[in-house]
Amino acid sequence: LLERYHIPTVVFLNKMDLPGADKAALLAQLRDQLSGGCVDFSLPPAQLHEEAAALGDEALLERYLERGSLTEAELSHLVGQRQLIPCWFGSALRDQGVDALLDGLARYVPAPEYGSRFGALVYKVSRDGQGTRLTWLKVTGGVLKVKDILSNRRPGLEEAALWSDKADQLRLYSGDKYELTEAAPAGTLCAVTGLSHARPGDALGAQAALPAPALEPVLTCQVLFDRDPHTVLPLLRQLEEEDPQLHLCWQEQTGQLFLQVMGEVQLEVLTRLARERFGLELSFGPGAILYRETIAAPVIGIGHFEPLRHYAEVHLLLEPAPRGSGLTFASACSTDQLDLNWQRLVLTHLAEREHPGVLTGSPITDMKITLIAGRAHDKHTEGGDFRQATYRAVRQGLMQAESILLEPWYDFRLEVPSAQVGRAMSDLERMGGQYDPPAAAGEETVLTGRAPVAALRDYPRQVAAYTRGLGRLQYSPGGYRPCADQQAVTAALAYDPERDAANPSGSVFCDHGSGTVVDWRKVPAMAHVDSGLRLDAPVRQQSAPPAPRSAPASGLAGEKELMSIFEQTYGKVERRSFQPQRPPARRELADSYSIREQQLGPDYLLVAGYNIIFAWPELQPVARDNLDAARKMLLDILANYRAFRGGEIILV
């Protein structure tokens, strides 16, 4: 993880006062198992510089040969690049080596450089003794002041803010005591009150968003308790805010609560926290594997939502992506067909939730979803209409596609006595795992490789049993791979996508003045828009034939009937919204295709200043006395609006 996040690292080896502590052996072990850049910084300066110069940097080696030593700045640069990992030895209990460690941190660890624009990173959420929510953050640029408006951004959606809150207090803690401050400059660690939506890992201001977590939950289990669920759920939500790896899933229909966790140790910690914080006794049902789903080939999904006085249609291209890439979203839809604000809304709805697959109801992943066409109505379209159309488009595309079930794998390191290596290799082959050739490590043999999580869940107990406690098994998440026994797992979970009322795959069309649900198989024939894109992708067998092209809601006759209904209801409609749209001229695509990525710019708001000033009741009295004061008040209002909503404001 330190390597993943490019964090300069130092090592302090404690308890060196114990009998048998061997500095040379420990340093060799560090270099073998952690990094070859580990260097003993308690060495004399000449020997320290010699070891640092021998790390493989030719330019550094030449400077050392010329001068016979290295400067502190050169050593600090190596530490910042993670080429050099300083190591100190001592005993904290006896205050041995601690001063050398602190002095080395000040001399050799490079100080970060901060920018002038405000930025911060949320790293913790907790509560004080009075129950006040504390958001802990590090200021990574500029200055944070009391009453500043803070918001986070979602990558890939043009910096669209998910939440905006005001910083009520800035607290500088020392133990349980704190001091209030009016401003926190870059480099400050502080606790902020008033942020009710911030989560660990949120990037604020100019701070770049963190990459996706390297560790993700791979198990799910039911939470059992003896209180009213509506009392327990808010309490557990507090723990979920504090630990970003906890994922609670409340099923309203069954009244059951499920929890996604990393393993049994996390369940033990959660049980203890619930008991100490809330006096709540928790138990857990049997765990199950968290699967994911993806698709084998590109497919186009269509969603239409048109009950009375509502209208939205969305066409999405779903494409498989490399393993571990997650979900990415893009737009290739012309603004002549669908306005930019509606396109952004579709992208927001794609990213705001996990979309379940159609094999087991597990979340989809490793896909690129592109908006290729859509349609709105000038009068009847609302924001929620595109949410429904987007969800249904994703679902309709998945129903057509050839879905692949993915199961989690672990990367493992297994150390066993040499006499038991045959048993270990046999077990791994039986599990369907993969391992590298065994490596000898003294009297033990080390096996490294990969295996499914389902097979390794109970294996640590077996290792402890057949090695009589001498074996050690360590593993870390190794991503998702196609499930070896997809058919059996799918049959065991018995998920029926067409009976999932919370995730409908059909669309809603207007028929004789009322909304009618249309089966997902018939939606392409009744769509009002043609994206012009054709795919030669495998489609699952359809149990019902597609509807004829002369469906009531499509074609000229259906459009006339629909127009007549609207005119009877709302009066004469002088617009061409309901005329059949001519499909864009695009060549037919068979084996290959390409889509033009469309760069979405910021939102613009044009404000007629004097009209607003003399029309706004709060500004009219001020303008009568002092027009300049009214202008400044309007500037303040628009500045606050921009802080909440983002985008660009042009004040005339």
Question: Are the C-beta atoms of residues 473 and 460 closer than 8 Å to each other?
Answer: yes
| Per-residue confidence band for 551, with pLDDT thresholds at 50, 70 and 90 | very low
Structure confidence at residue 169 (pLDDT)? 93
Task: Kindly report the number of other CB atoms within 10 A of residue 581's CB atom.
Answer: 14
Structure confidence at residue 161 (pLDDT)? 47
* Each residue's pLDDT tens digit, 347-391: 999 998 889 999 999 999 999 999 999 999 988 898 789 999 999
Calculate mean pLDDT across residues 115-121.
91
Structure confidence at residue 537 (pLDDT)? 43
Say yes or no to pLDDT of 174 above 60: yes
Percent of all residues in the chain with a pLDDT value above 90, rounded to a whole number: 42
Structure confidence at residue 226 (pLDDT)? 80
In whole angstroms, how far apart are CA 455 and each of 282, 434, 458?
A: 27, 12, 7
| Per-residue confidence band for 540, with pLDDT thresholds at 50, 70 and 90 | very low
Alpha-carbon distance of 462 to 195, in angstroms, equals 47
Say yes or no to pLDDT of 15 above 50: yes
Alpha-carbon distance of 469 to 569, in angstroms, equals 79
Question: Are the C-beta atoms of residues 364 and 275 closer than 8 Å to each other?
Answer: no
Structure confidence at residue 163 (pLDDT)? 75
Separation of first and last alpha carbons in the chain: 51
Structure confidence at residue 578 (pLDDT)? 46
Say yes or no to pLDDT of 629 above 90: no
Structure confidence at residue 153 (pLDDT)? 61
The angle at the Cα of 242, spanning 236 to 244, to the nearest 5 degrees, equals 95
Question: Are the C-beta atoms of residues 437 and 332 closer than 8 Å to each other?
Answer: no
Average pLDDT, the chain: 84
Calculate mean pLDDT across residues 68-88.
90
Task: Kindly report the number of other CB atoms within 10 A of residue 292's CB atom.
Answer: 23
Task: Tell me phi and psi for residue 617, to 5 degrees.
Answer: -60, -35
| Per-residue confidence band for 555, with pLDDT thresholds at 50, 70 and 90 | very low
Task: Kindly report the number of other CB atoms within 10 A of residue 643's CB atom.
Answer: 15
Structure confidence at residue 639 (pLDDT)? 82
The angle at the Cα of 8, spanning 4 to 13, to the nearest 5 degrees, equals 110
Structure confidence at residue 542 (pLDDT)? 38
| Per-residue confidence band for 534, with pLDDT thresholds at 50, 70 and 90 | confident
Question: pTM value?
Answer: 0.62
| Per-residue confidence band for 254, with pLDDT thresholds at 50, 70 and 90 | low
Say yes or no to pLDDT of 610 above 90: no
Structure confidence at residue 552 (pLDDT)? 39
Task: Kindly report the number of other CB atoms within 10 A of residue 464's CB atom.
Answer: 14
Report the SS3 class of residue 194.
Answer: coil
The residue that leads in pLDDT, 461 or 298, is 298
| Per-residue confidence band for 221, with pLDDT thresholds at 50, 70 and 90 | confident
Structure confidence at residue 575 (pLDDT)? 52
* Each residue's pLDDT tens digit, 24-57: 999 998 998 888 899 999 888 888 888 888 776 7
In DSSP terms, which residues pair with 606 in a beta bridge? 650
Structure confidence at residue 587 (pLDDT)? 40
| Per-residue confidence band for 598, with pLDDT thresholds at 50, 70 and 90 | low
Name every residue whose Cβ is closer than 8 Å to that of residue 422 and which is 6 or more positions away in sequence. Answer: none
Q: Where are the alpha helices (DSSP H) in 207-263?
A: 229-242
Calculate mean pLDDT across residues 163-180.
91
Query: Which amino acid belongs to residue 11?
Result: V
Q: Where are the alpha helices (DSSP H) in 432-521?
A: 453-456, 459-466, 486-493
Calculate mean pLDDT across residues 417-446.
89
Q: Give Rg (Cα) of the chain.
A: 31
Structure confidence at residue 199 (pLDDT)? 86
Structure confidence at residue 549 (pLDDT)? 38
Cα atoms in the Cβ-side hemisphere of radius 13 Å centred on 334: 10
Burial 49-76 (b: 16+ CB within 10 A, else e): bbbbbeeebeebbebbeeeeebeeebbb
Q: Where are the alpha helices (DSSP H) in 54-120?
A: 58-67, 72-80, 98-108
Enter the tokens of residue 199: 């989560």
The residue that leads in pLDDT, 247 or 255, is 247
Alpha-carbon distance of 234 to 240, in angstroms, equals 10
